[in-house]
Structure 1
Amino acid sequence: MHKTIQSLLSEHDGSALAIGAPDRGWMTYECLRDLAHEVADALHGMGIGKGDRVAIVLPNGPEMAAAFVSIAQVATTAPLNPAYREEEYAFYLSDLKAKALVVAEDYDGAALGAAEKAGMMVIRLRVPVGSPAGYFTLSSEHSGIVGKKDVSPDDVALILHTSGTTSRPKIVPLLQSNVAASAEHVRMSLNLTPEDRCLNVMPLFHIHGLIAAVAASLAAGASVWCAPGFDALKFFGWMKEAKPTWYTAVPTMHQAILARAARNEEIIDATRLRFLRSSSASLPAQVMLALGDTFGAPVVEGYGMTEAAHQMASNPLDDGAQKPGSVGVEAGPMVRIAHETENHLIDDIGEVVISGPNVTPGYEGNPEANEKSFFDAEGHRWFRTGDQGAFDEDGYLVLTGRLKEIINRGGEKISPLEVDGVLLDHPAVGQVVTFALPHPKLGEEVAAAVVLREGAEASAQDIRSFAATRMADFKVPRKVIIMDEIPKGATGKMQRIGLAEKLGLVEKA
């Protein structure tokens, strides 16, 4: 089993294609390995080495992918969302204790202001004209001397923050061994080979894109074609150019792709994907079935989170082995169910817990969170995911929702995912997100935001009446809001927590 990011790349055919992008030549594995040496020399010459933290603020694309892979072989990477404001950068750069910030040569955005106010080293990334996808050079006004020390499996390769929807974001350090293990887990569960090619549309400041698309592809000696972000209008044109064997995305992206699939049948027929992958949020069963019918390929739903360096479970790839509504079987770490408040495992519905080589050693500088999130039982150290679920009779994991998102209506516990599933069966409903609406007597009431299918018509009362025929009265949304678009987070996921405030249904606290 590989233990470092460098070892993931070391054995592949140097002439094989590694990283591609729109209207660019391909970077080979030999070129990628050479780039890693050049980056190491450049960073060492700036006084940056093992253990130093380097924040990266770059647009989505091949340079972001190559920067992560190469810088992580020298120092600790900390990719940040390019859409943050200066105050957010100031917080994250300080919280991370970043030594340097990498930005594009012509960048003049908010991260620069935050870095300069903090007196932080700024490193400029330049793409020489005519260079292959992902190739770059680094320059800085700073210089220094640092001893060249090889990173070890126990060194931190990647630092990310949790989303912090309900509290201060927590720092998640992922070791070289965590990243390498998770990349291998994805590679094995998807049977990736050097013949495979991933079309990446996921943001590369997020664990899903970094591990499932980039690191897993490179672990297999396969290629990854990096789009400049997600754009449903351009997706099929990219598919035609990239000729991928698979792509990975979040459910909202898949739904947007489905909406444009009918007018792109020729490209779909010509591409013949080996499979599609979905992760980072629960994929509605209806969407999984529609994707499979549209693309004529298996749809593999994976289950991942930052603290696990992404993948925890996955639907098997074998013919007919995918189970709609389930996130599959354990695919890397051990996955079990624990009591939600007591530190022991159970054989019933409860909190999903994991243990394995891909799991973070713990949150940085947050002993209280670690005390709540980790426990020892049956000879293993378990991490509490915050998700509620259970295994079915076939050993497939079915999630009922985030514990924090479970709606408590006067003592009745309601799974938002269950309500989503019912409302999506309405022929006019294209997207839905069920969420908690504060209620003065019941504590919380059920509400749902809905996007109708193109050309379809339905009223909020129509949808409520439909739901009333399918579920107990206390689960039926008391409020249904029909919208053109549901607000999403930076990674394309719909966020239930705080949605009532975002939609102006309650006063902000």
Structure 2
Amino acid sequence: MTPFRLRKLLKYKPNQKEKALLIYTSGTTGRPKGVIHTHESLLYGGWNTEVAHELTPDDNSLCVLPLCHINAQVVSVMGTLVNGSGLVMPQRFQASKFWFWMVDQKCTWFSAVPTILSYLMNIEEGEKIKSKLGRVRFGRSASAALPPALHKAFEERFGIKIVETMGITETASPLLSNPIDTKLHKLGSPGIAYGNEVRIADAKRDCSGFRN
């Protein structure tokens, strides 16, 4: 980038309604779709993450998810930017180094997927460093349903509570989350709505049931 273009970029003040990101869905419900987010919707995604997980400037997050996915871009990046907390971003996920990063960088939470939690259950490094994980407040699981058996086994082995959540690309990731308070957790459930409204529909897309 030339000095001229850099100066021009630094002077630019975006409008909150302007397009900021084009990202594709994973194709869970059909062919991948392109989703356009504004500066405003990305900020709201970060704020929803902050509120749901009770983040503060004292927190420090470890991001090991790919940035081509909405989870990493909004939950890990925007969720920390909106409150000025810290973010650690290794080049890629490595199960053998995960716990070292958590301790060495003084991380207080992480965002993962069930597959990553399974990998971490099958390595010895976590057991060796378990006594040094006192700073870790929680781990966040999303992007796929978390099997209750894995959920319980992970918490029992490492002493770290796992917050199961659900998000979609169209809502800038955060949609549902279990509260931070473990007394309000429900295994096998993605939790309650934060910053969004949710309706439960049947197979015919009828939302007139008593739960709505």
The answer to whether the Cα contact below 8 Å between 2:47 and 2:79 also exists between their aligned partners in 1 is yes
1:163 and 2:126 matched: no
Deviation of 1:151 after TM superposition, in Å, equals 1.2
Matched residue, 1:265: 127
State yes or no: 1:235 paired with 2:98. yes
- Tell me the CA shift for residue 164 of structure 1: 4.1
- State yes or no: 1:277 paired with 2:143: no
Following the alignment from structure 1 to structure 2, what is the Cα–Cα distance between the partners of residues 240 and 290? 21
1:199 matched to 2:162? The reply is: no
User: How far, CA to CA, are the matches of 1:166 and 1:339 in structure 2?
Assistant: 15
Structure 2 counterparts to residues 480-495 of structure 1, below 5 A: none
1:290 to 153, 158, 181: 153
Alpha-carbon distance, 1:335 to partner: 1.0
Task: Give me the whole-angstrom Cα distance separating, in 1, the residues matched to 2:169 and 2:122.
Answer: 29
Query: Following the alignment from structure 1 to structure 2, what is the Cα–Cα distance between the partners of residues 214 and 157?
Result: 14
TM-score (norm 2): 0.89
Tell me the distance in 2 between the aligned counterparts of 1:179 and 1:189.
Answer: 15
CA distance in 2 between partners of 1:201 and 1:158 (Å): 21
The one-letter code sitting in structure 2 at the alignment partner of 1:297 is I
**Letter aligned with residue 312 of structure 1:** L
Find out whether 1:312 has 2:207 as its counterpart. Answer: no
Q: CA deviation at 1:39?
A: 10
1:151 maps to which of 5, 10, 14: 14
| Closer/same/farther in 2, CA of residues 39 and 326 from structure 1, 3 Å limit | farther
Give the partner amino acid of 1:42.
Answer: R
Alpha carbons of structure 1 residues 166 and 185: separation in structure 2 relative to 1, 3 Å: closer
**Which of the two has higher C-alpha Rg?**
1
Structure with more strand by fraction: 1
1:403-422 deviations in Å (ceiling 9; x for gaps): xxxxxxxxxxxxxxxxxxxx
Alpha-carbon spacing, 1:160–1:229, altered in 2? closer, same or farther (3 Å)? same
Q: Tell me, yes or no, if the aligned pair for 1:303 and 1:312 is still in contact at 8 Å.
A: yes
Shift of 1:346: 2.5
Q: Is the 8 A contact 1:239 1:267 kept in 2?
A: no
Rounded Cα–Cα distance in structure 1 between residues aligned with 2:64 and 2:175? 21
After superposing on structure 2, the runs of 4+ consecutive aligned residues of structure 1 that deviate more than 6 Å are 38-41
Q: Is the 8 A contact 2:126 2:158 kept in 1?
A: no
2:192: which partner in 1? Answer: 329
1:41–1:238: structure 2 CA closer, same or farther, 3 Å change rule? farther
Partner of 2:5: 42
Separation of aligned partners in 1, 2:28 and 2:170: 16
SS for the counterpart of 1:186 is: helix
Is the 8 Å Cα contact of residues 65 and 72 (structure 2) preserved in structure 1? Answer: yes
CA distance in structure 2 between the aligned counterparts of 1:40 and 1:345, rounded to whole angstroms: 55
Aligned amino acid, residue 14 of structure 2: V
Partner of 1:490: none
**SS of alignment partner, residue 140 of structure 2:** strand
Whole-angstrom distance in 2 between the partners of 1:328 and 1:298: 14
Task: Name whichever of 291-300 and 184-193 sits farther off.
Answer: 291-300
Checking the alignment, whether the CA contact within 8 Å between 1:299 and 1:322 is kept in structure 2 is: no
Contact 1:189 1:316 in 2 (8 A): yes
Aligned residues: 211
- Tell whether the 8 Å contact from 2:96 to 2:125 is kept in structure 1 after alignment: no
Which residues of 2 match residues 75-86 of structure 1 at below 5 A? Answer: none
Query: Are residues 264 and 338 of structure 1, via their aligned partners in 2, closer, same or farther at CA, if it must alter by over 3 Å?
Result: closer
| Consecutive unaligned residues in structure 1, runs of 5 or more | 1-37, 50-73, 75-147, 349-390, 396-509
CA contact (8 A) 1:196 1:223 kept: yes
The alpha-carbon distance between structure 1 residues 41 and 185, as it changes in their structure 2 partners (threshold 3 A), is farther
**Retained in 2: the 8 A contact 1:298–1:322?**
no
Query: Structure 1 residues 264 and 340, CA, compared in 2 at 3 Å: closer, same or farther?
Result: closer
Q: CA deviation at 1:289?
A: 0.6
Cα distance between partner residues in 2 of 1:227 and 1:218: 17
C-alpha offsets along residues 146-190 of structure 1, whole Å, 9 cap, x if unaligned? xx5521111111110123478653210011111111100110111
Offset from partner CA, 1:404-448 (integer Å, 9 cap, x none):
xxxxxxxxxxxxxxxxxxxxxxxxxxxxxxxxxxxxxxxxxxxxx
Counterpart CA distance in 2 for 1:191 and 1:222 is: 12
Whether contact under 8 Å (1:236, 1:267) holds in the other structure is: yes
Structure 2 unaligned residues grouped into runs of 5+? none
Assess, with a 3 A threshold, how the Cα gap between structure 1 residues 40 and 346 changes in structure 2: closer, same or farther: farther
Root mean square deviation of aligned Cα: 2.6
Q: Is 1:218 aligned to residue 181 of structure 2?
A: no
For 2:193 and 2:3, the matched residues in 1 are separated by 36
Q: Which has the higher contact order (CA 8 A, sep 6+)?
A: 2
